[in-house]
Every structure is written in structure tokens, then in C-alpha cells.
Amino acid sequence: MNLPDELRATCIAADPSPTSDAQIAQMITAIGAIQRRSPRTWISAIDVRDCAERLGLRPLVVRTVFAQRSQYMQRAAEMFGHPGPPAA
């Protein structure tokens, strides 16, 4: 897909030493699954907790990421030339 190296590394779930950007992307993906009420909600919640602990994020920061997820998704879509989700 000719993705930049950092983005490609982010997409690899089994990366033994993911960058902080990759961990943030993984956390945002897991947050999205929770917000969509995916059947994997409990697994996604564990993923969010694990990423937050590795990054040293406090619960208040994680709640802020939950609230701003759509903005992050829109920025990423704009960076890669795809239309973002509708503004909330």
C-alpha cells in the first residue's frame, strides 16, 4: 500500500517494541471499537488500558482521547487524502 514506515509499523499488532505513535494509534483504534459497541468491547477495553499504562497516561487523559477520537480520525484522513468522518 506504500504507507509511510511509521504508519506501516502502527498496523502491525505484534510489533515487539511499538513507537509511542503506534501505541496511540492502537489505543485510538480500540477506543473506536468500544464506541461502536463492537463484540470485542471487553478486549478493546483491555487494549486501551494496556496502551495507556505503557504510555503512562492517567485516566483523565484517556477520557480526553475518548472525547477527541473523531477529531484524530478526521486529521488522519486529511493527511492521507481521504474524506474524514462527518463532523459531530
pLDDT tens readout for residues 25-73:
888 888 888 888 888 889 999 999 998 999 999 998 888 888 888 787 7
CA dihedral 50, 52, 54, 58 (to 10 degrees): -130
Please state, in angstroms and as integers, the Cα–Cα distance from residue 2 to each residue in 6, 40, 66, following that order: 11, 29, 29
Residue with cell string 478526521: 74
Residue 4: inside a domain, yes or no?
no
Q: Answer whether residue 2 shows pLDDT above 80.
A: no
Report how many domains make up the chain. 1
Domain that holds residue 46: 19-79
Residue 47: inside a domain, yes or no?
yes
pLDDT one-digit tens code per residue, 9-29: 666 656 667 788 888 888 888
Residue 68: inside a domain, yes or no?
yes
